[in-house]
Structure 1
């Protein structure tokens, strides 16, 4: 797995000025308009940030604290920024000399992040009680190869994939759950094969989604965190990558094998129908019941039609260096300008 390597430089965000977006200041081309707009435009003095997540009025992000002349790209600080008060607080600083804070997740009660040594061979997950600020280490991994540990937060639990052994050149392991209330860890499922194709755990409300392989076939697993029920769905193809759960649909990249180019597929869980979409996609997230996609040139918002095709609903004009989505509710674009990193936060107009 390619690990995010970042530069680090300490600035104080208290000098940043968040502004409510003026709709007339940047007109954007529309495909088929939806009720979504840029609600905040924030200039930060950071050279680089990673994994920004929003839960109003807060933004949480990994951030740099070194000068632009540094050869090291390293986000070693976990920063909390209050959009309303402009107050900044550094919540955590990595224990590693060359570090990468990523995998940030947040809800009303908990903040979760991943502190990783840049090589990926040392990897820790932490959880913080947002009210008391009490911080606990969820796990600690030391491997000879880059770790695939990326956390997912649902209610009062943190879930992650953990490698356990290498058998016949195949990495095996399990999906684990940490109870933020009592600190207990348990295993919710074993994995036959762990690789770049299934490193993420995707979640939507109380559902957790992942993929696995057995006997040269690929399967989707939907786990209900409220009752422990697990549904298993065989994929249309033998090799799948990065599945996400959007309403009653599974969206993923599928191919005959992992050496081939993967195509975008949409699977209807209720009707059990699947359709290949002739749309080049370079990454996608869930936003409400739609998909935010990047085709390598522009980022767009698509709705899913009854015939399992996708329709463009909005085209975002600002060419961001990166973007992420928080809990399917906020789209966060961020890019560098002459002053540092600028962040654009989009949400439904009535959000």
Structure 2
């Protein structure tokens, strides 16, 4: 009987020792995993300087640069795992400064745009249901919201920045009405420049170039492109031969590219070149293109991401001729690109 009790006691002690070291081992592995996560970095390729910059952030959702400064929305001890802060990185000193921390418990900060005087971004919840647009004076570091913060009766789309103005699409849920808005950043005043008939994923984005703002709308079953000259406060309307259009981008003073949609499926689309002088449109392809990424530059280049392609298709617009110039990586398009290491 005594031997049996002794035997059971030995087994119990062995189990306690195993459990103790098992917990220590688990804690060690957990600590190692945590340290591994904390050491995650994102690398930015700076095309201007032809250098790679390693930054200690798990995720960088958007970024822009002006002069010596790079502005980015980054995840830094973020509960959601998505960007929760606005960071300024100086290319010369290699120092970072925290400019803003999200006001949401679980956030997604994105949409960074910068010029010599102003910085703008969007602070949203992790579902994107609530978006607050902010503007910062880069000299004084004063930050102001563009609309009332956390107002559930409104929805803001992502803004575009031009000199001393920003523009965005604003949805008033009480009135069930969407507007194209313009804010004078010097006077901090907002004004409505257009009442939209249609507000969908297809036409929720604006394009701006040299003080001219482009947006699209569908009225009476017909697609229209609108160009608003900010300095002249003049609005021009151009009727498209396509019924459902969106994702418009200004190429130059008289040419636009946009997507035409042919069904309820977003993928059933074609890219179109539209000339405001001749009021004629030309499709890039006779087949559906499945465009899901679209960029333009100041040299009449159009960069198109299609389907599951990881690269862009590059086109050159020469007068009204569309010339395909092959495939290109995003690193060769943008001034900066980012990847998680």
* TM-score, normalisation: structure 1: 0.76
1:84 aligns with 2:84: no
8 Å Cα contact 1:164-1:172 kept in structure 2: yes
Residue aligned with 2:321, SS? coil
Q: What is the CA distance between 1:127 and its match in structure 2?
A: 0.8
Match of 1:250 among 256, 261, 269: 256
**Higher relative strand content:** 1
Distance 1:192 1:309 in 2: 31
Distance 2:210 2:51 in 1: 25
Match of 2:338 among 331, 334, 347: 334
Write out aligned runs for 1:102-121 (5 A). 102-121=110-129
What is residue 46 of structure 1 aligned with on the other side? 57
* TM-score, normalisation: structure 2: 0.78
Cα pair distance change 1:250/1:17, threshold 3 Å: closer
What is residue 184 of structure 2 aligned with on the other side? 179
Where do 5+ consecutive residues of structure 2 fail to align? 1-36
What is residue 293 of structure 1 aligned with on the other side? 304
Write out aligned runs for 1:1-351 (5 A). 39-66=50-77, 72-140=80-148, 142-143=151-152, 147-165=155-173, 171-247=176-252, 248-259=254-265, 261-278=268-285, 281-289=291-299, 290-295=301-306, 296-312=309-325, 315-316=328-329, 330-337=334-341
Q: What is the CA distance between 1:199 and its match in structure 2?
A: 0.9
Residue aligned with 2:202, SS? helix
Distance 1:228 1:86 in 2: 42
Distance 2:320 2:126 in 1: 44
8 Å Cα contact 2:153-2:173 kept in structure 1: no
Distance 1:80 1:242 in 2: 30
Q: What is the CA distance between 1:310 and its match in structure 2?
A: 3.2
Residue aligned with 2:277, SS? coil
Q: What is the CA distance between 1:10 and its match in structure 2?
A: 7.8
Q: Deviations over 1:241-290 (max 9, x none)?
A: 21100113211110344446011111122222211112553311122222
Q: Deviations over 1:274-322 (max 9, x none)?
A: 111125533111222222322323124431133431332662386xxxx
Distance 1:11 1:190 in 2: 48
Q: Which moved more, 1:149-158 or 1:274-283?
A: 274-283
What is residue 343 of structure 1 aligned with on the other side? none
Q: What is the CA distance between 1:202 and its match in structure 2?
A: 0.8
What is residue 6 of structure 1 aligned with on the other side? none
Distance 2:43 2:75 in 1: 19
8 Å Cα contact 1:238-1:257 kept in structure 2: no
Q: What is the CA distance between 1:49 and its match in structure 2?
A: 0.6
8 Å Cα contact 2:43-2:339 kept in structure 1: no
What is residue 31 of structure 1 aligned with on the other side? none
Runs of 4+ in 1 over 4 A off after TM superposition: 9-13, 16-21
Distance 1:317 1:17 in 2: 14
Cα pair distance change 1:255/1:308, threshold 3 Å: farther
- The structure whose Rg is larger is 2
Q: Which moved more, 1:288-297 or 1:84-93?
A: 288-297
Residue aligned with 2:292, SS? coil
Residue aligned with 1:254, SS? strand
Q: Deviations over 1:26-45 (max 9, x none)?
A: xxxxxxxxxxx873422222
**Higher relative helix content:** 2
Q: Deviations over 1:202-237 (max 9, x none)?
A: 111111001111111111110001111111111121
Residue aligned with 2:241, SS? coil
Q: Quick one: higher RCO (CA 8 Å, sep 6+), 1 or 2?
A: 1
Cα pair distance change 1:188/1:130, threshold 3 Å: same
